[in-house]
Amino acid sequence: MSQSNYLLVIDVGNTNSEVGIFDGDRLVHSWRFMTKTPRTSDEYKVMFRGFLEAEGMTREDIKDVIIASVVPNIMHTLTSGIVKTFGVTPMVVGPGIKTGMPIKFADPAEVGADRIIDSVAAYKLYGGPLIVVDFGTATTYDYIDQNGAMCGKVTTPGIGISGDALTRCAAQLPNIQIIKPPSIMAKDTISSMQAGLTYGYQGQVEYIIDKMKEEIGRDDVKVVATGGYGRMFYNESEKIDFYDPKLPLKGLRLIYEKNKRQDKKHEK
């Protein structure tokens, strides 16, 4: 690998965060870390250096960094850790960043950075009109029209926090692994909870997609899924056309390219 030619992208989610390294338009490495684990800037520095060393890279290989975050309270230490590690102040998806995507909502500023990066990547890669479904801590549905404008959104509790609520609020129900049992007709408590959660959630997903398409009034709307549980529902539902687990990282790269800046590094 040649030095100083790689872009580091970071998607900070409520539960987990994902980091990717791009060589041009090719994602060459990625890894995840828990967002909710408190870290100092020095701990972030150690974490980033450790990953790079495991891949035979050094901090000098990274030319720039871009972040999308829905967790404001970690941004100070994360940003400081990036400056200490790579000598660059990261670009952050937010006000003043060009996305190339009109947002036709009452208050465009309230749209989360995660939804923006998903939508930018999905429209670029799959074309519109489309619905982007991100199965994260929350499950989000965003409608992008044929002209690449974000025109509608739905937000629901994610399947993970739905399962957590079930066990937290019902004293005699145990924690369960979120897997889909072969039959909805369960014969034990754990299987009955798994059936209710997965079959019920699939029904919700399919109803929301159908209802959005009904209101859109077109039969050519593609559905693209991403996020941790996206593969499960892609495999089980004919309503989802594509599954792209790296969609947020791809969106970050595309937005970086729209806002590309000269490689100006600070003193390390």
Same domain? 136 vs 225: yes
Q: Please say which residue of 92, 126, 152 terminates a domain.
A: 92
CB contact burial 10-36 (16+ within 10 A = b; e otherwise): bbbbbeebbbbbbeeeebebbeebebe
Which of 151, 10, 142, 143 is closest to 71 using CA atoms? 10
Q: What is the tens place of the pLDDT at every residue in 127-156?
A: 999 999 999 999 999 999 999 999 999 999
Q: Give the Cα separation of 223 and 131 in Å (integer).
A: 5
In a shared domain, residues 115 and 243: yes
Q: Which tokens go with 50?
A: 């450790």
- Pair 75, 125 in one domain: no
Instruction: Note whether 116 and 244 are same-domain residues.
Output: yes
Q: Are residues 55 and 181 in the same domain?
A: no
**At CB < 8 A and 24+ separation, what contacts does 190-196 make?**
193/163, 193/166
Q: With a cut of 60, say whether residue 267 has pLDDT above it.
A: no
Same-domain pairing of 80 and 135:
no
Domain membership flag for residue 264:
no
Give the domain-ending residue among 68, 92, 116.
92
pLDDT number for residue 261: 62
Q: For residues 69 and 18, state if they share a domain.
A: yes
Q: Judge contact between 266 and 87, C-beta under 8 A.
A: yes
Residues 79 and 157 in one domain: no
What spatial distance separates the first Cα and last Cα of the chain, rounded to whole Å?
Answer: 22
Convert the pLDDT of each residue in 105-114 to its tens digit. 989 889 999 9
Token code pair at residue 25: 């338009």
- Whether residues 112 and 234 share a domain: the answer is yes
CB 51 within 8 A of CB 45: no
Q: Please give the Cα distance from 221 to 213 (Å, whole number).
A: 7
Residue 97 inside a domain? The answer is no
Asked, for residue 168, whether it belongs to a domain, the answer is yes
Q: How far apart are CA 151 and CA 131, in angstroms?
A: 10
Could you tell me if residue 1 is inside a domain?
no
Helix axis angle for 159-169 and 189-216, nearest 10°, is 140
Q: Is residue 169 part of a domain?
A: yes
The model's confidence at residue 264, banded by pLDDT at 50, 70 and 90, is very low
Average pLDDT over residues 228-235: 95
Distance of alpha carbon 168 from alpha carbon 164, whole angstroms? 6
Read off the pLDDT of residues 155-207 as tens digits, 9 standing for 90 and up.
999 999 999 999 999 988 999 999 999 999 999 999 999 999 999 999 999 99
Catalytic residue among 114, 134, 145, 244: 114
Q: Is residue 127 part of a domain?
A: yes
Per-residue confidence band for 38, with pLDDT thresholds at 50, 70 and 90: very high
Does 141 share its domain with 29? no
* HSE-up of residue 56 (Cα within 13 Å, Cβ side): 3
Q: Domain span at residue 164?
A: 108-248
**CATH at 194:** 3.30.420.40
Structural domain includes residue 218: yes
Question: What is the number of domains present in the chain?
Answer: 2
- What's the predicted TM-score (pTM) here? 0.92
Task: Kindly compute the dihedral angle of the four CA atoms of residues 211, 159, 203, 148, in this order, to the nearest 10 degrees.
Answer: 30
What secondary structure letter does DSSP report for 174?
P
Q: Is the pLDDT of residue 268 over 50?
A: no
Provide the token pair at 68: 């999308």
Tell me whether residue 259 is in a domain. Answer: no
Question: Which residues 6+ apart lie within 8 Å of 237 measured at CB?
Answer: 202, 205, 206
State whether 48 and 176 are in the same domain.
Answer: no
Is residue 19 located within the same domain as residue 127? no
114 is catalytic: yes
Task: Report the b/e string of 81-106 with b at 16+ CB within 10 A.
Answer: bbbbbbebebbbbeeebebebebeee
Closest by Cα among 142, 114, 128, 88 to 267: 88
